[in-house]
Structure formats: structure tokens, C-alpha cells
Structure 1
Amino acid sequence: MRLRTDIFVSALMRRVFARGDFAAVEAKGAEEAGAVFVRQVFRDGTESLYAPAPQSFFGENDSNRQRLFETRLERTETTAVAEAITRERRFDSDLWVVSIETDDLGDLLEFAGAEPEDDGFFRR
């Protein structure tokens, strides 16, 4: 069974702070099953946006166990990211937006199509 969204976001934020970076919840959505969008803020003022990966990336047994992300926008202007989030919120008002200020996400998120690293965190 997949973690509740509020627990996933809380754990993500703790991991960010443990690395010495900063994170904030910009928009709080449904606590149990809200979609999570991650806004990565770089030191040069650009941003990237990561969204939940489409269901086609999940196997039959994986759909309820892990959260996979895909890159929607990469190192672009802040306004472009804000507009994309606004469009998404029109379709899903229960989504979460987490802003992370770091130049390197490292192993904070698992991306669709990437080989998973076995660090024992957020795994089956």
C-alpha cells in the first residue's frame, strides 16, 4: 500500500532539511491521496517542475506502492512554472506543491524510467 500523501511530503521535507537544503509546502492538497508536484528552485533563479508520472509507467503490482515523477519543465523561468501549476490546479484542486531550494535533487525523488537505488527509503 502506498504512503498517504501527507506522510510522503513530511518525509520528503525532512530529507531535504537533513541535507541542509530548504523546502516548503506551497499548496496543501488531499491528505490521503493528493498528487504531489515538486518545484525545484535553483540558485540562478531558474526552476524545474516535476509531476506524478503517468500510470502507464507503473506495473500491475507497483501502482499502489511507489511515487514516480517525470520532468515537466526543466530550468525555466519562474513564471512558466507558476503558470503550469495554475493550469494543473484547474484540473485537480487537491494537488500538493512542494518547493525545494537545491541545485541537486540527488535521491530525493524517484523518476519514471530510472533505475531505482536501493537505499531502503520509500521502497517496497
Structure 2
Amino acid sequence: MRVTTDLWVSALIRRVFGGGGFAAVMSKGAPEAGAVFVLTRDRLGTVQLFGPAPQTSYDQARPDERLFVRLGDGEDQDALQARLERERKFDSDIWVVEIEAGSVPVEQLLNVSLP
């Protein structure tokens, strides 16, 4: 059984703060099953955007696990914000969480699937 998005986002925020980082919910979506997009920022100002992985990326043995793919990176935050707006037009129930990971690498906070 998959946990609700609201609970999953709360757990992510706790893990980020537990590792000495910072996290904030920029946009709340559907509490039960909204898609989650994570915007990460490091101390040098580099920004990355992670979003839900395509359904083909899921393992049959663990279908309830949330997987992410890198949708964009670099220092151009405007391009990433434009991408989020396009996603929001497609699905108004998305969650956007911004994190500064601290001592825990993003790859340990999110299950990132390779393309």
C-alpha cells in the first residue's frame, strides 16, 4: 500500500531537517495522490528539479515506491519555474517541495531513477 502524498512529503521534510538542511512546501497538491516535484538548491546556488519517474521505470517487485528523475539542472531557476508552471497547467494537484539538502545527498533523500 502506498502512503499518501501528504505523509510522504512530511517524512521528506523531516529527513532533510534531520540532516541539517532546509525544506519548504512551495505548493500543496492533492493530499492523497498528488504528484511531487522537488526543487533542490545547493550552497553554491545550483538548482535541480526532480519529478515523478515514468511508469516504465517502476520495478514490479516494489510498485509502491516513489521514483524520481532529474528533469533539469543548472543555475537557470527561471527555466525550472517555467517547467513547473507547464506541469501545473497539465495537473493542478502537484506538490512542489524546495530543499537545501545539508549533509545528506539528494540521492539518499529521493529514489532517483537513471534515464
Change (3 A) 1:107 1:61: same
Maintained 8 Å contact 1:38/1:50 = yes
Whole-angstrom distance in 1 between the partners of 2:17 and 2:35:
22
Task: Report the TM-score, using the length of structure 2 for normalisation.
Answer: 0.90
Matched with 1:2 is: 2
* Cα deviation 1:50-105 (Å, max 9, x = unaligned): 00000011134533x11000000022311111111011000010000000013631
Q: How does 1:64-79 map to 2 (within 5 A)?
A: 65-79=64-78
Task: Report the TM-score, using the length of structure 1 for normalisation.
Answer: 0.84
* Cα deviation 1:33-62 (Å, max 9, x = unaligned): 000000001222221000000001113453
User: Could you list the runs of 5+ residues in structure 2 that have no partner in the other structure?
Assistant: none
Aligned residue identity for 1:111: V
Whole-angstrom distance in 2 between the partners of 1:107 and 1:75:
20
Whole-angstrom distance in 1 between the partners of 2:67 and 2:107:
15
User: Using CA pairs below 8 Å that are at least 6 residues apart, which structure has the higher relative contact order?
Assistant: 2
CA drift of 1:8 comes to: 0.2
Maintained 8 Å contact 1:40/1:49 = yes
Aligned length: 113
User: Could you list the runs of 5+ residues in structure 1 that have no partner in the other structure?
Assistant: 115-124
Matched with 2:108 is: 107
Question: Which of the two has greater helix per residue?
Answer: 2
Over aligned residues, Cα RMSD in angstroms?
Answer: 1.7
